[in-house]
Amino acid sequence: MRRPQLSGDRVQSRWWYWIAAVPIVFVFWLVTVAWVAFAMSIDPSFVGDSAPSFFVRLLVAIPHATVVSLVAVGIPFAVLIAILPLAVFQDTVAINRAETGWEPSSRNFALSGLLGLIAAVVVGIFTIDISLAIIAGFVLSVPFALYYLRERHEKLGVP
């Protein structure tokens, strides 16, 4: 049995894969933070011997785990934040070219996607902390990527 053809099947663009990677990598990073914080809290020497219980050590370990996990996934984060505006622009251009009935504004969506990169640069300049800059970029990029993917799904059926 064949599935019915969706209007999104006519769009010759796979740029939305890059957009979908933003929340996926963010969730992967959150899991990594949780795992590293758990591992750090098992050994009291990492977070200090004065912490009375495992849960207190876990709470103390979270900021350290955030920075440690960014060492592993910081470069992919930075690349995704930088590629997001281009991916949104290219995907919306392809959608408009396919004449699916949904005509997203390529310029407006791309500028909205650029906000995460701008936030990362501004925070990086003022704090001189690259990990905080990447986190700031994702604070704006993840909700926008989820919004765009939801709109794309509702209008085209894909993803």
Mean of the per-residue pLDDT values of the chain: 88
pLDDT in tens, 35-53: 988 888 887 676 666 657 7
Give the pTM: 0.86
pLDDT band at 5 (very low <50, low <70, confident <90, very high): low
Q: CA of 2: how far to CAs of 5, 103, 117, in Å?
A: 9, 28, 41
Residue 128 φ/ψ region, left for φ over 0, alpha for ψ in the -120 to 50 degree band, beta for the rest:
left
Average pLDDT over residues 141-150: 97
- Other Cβ atoms less than 10 A from the Cβ of 126: the count is 10
Listed in order, strand segments (DSSP E) in the chain are: none
> What residues does each domain of the chain span?
16-156
Residue with tokens 């899991």: 31
Residues 59-71 have pLDDT tens digits of 888 888 888 888 8
pLDDT value at position 60? 80
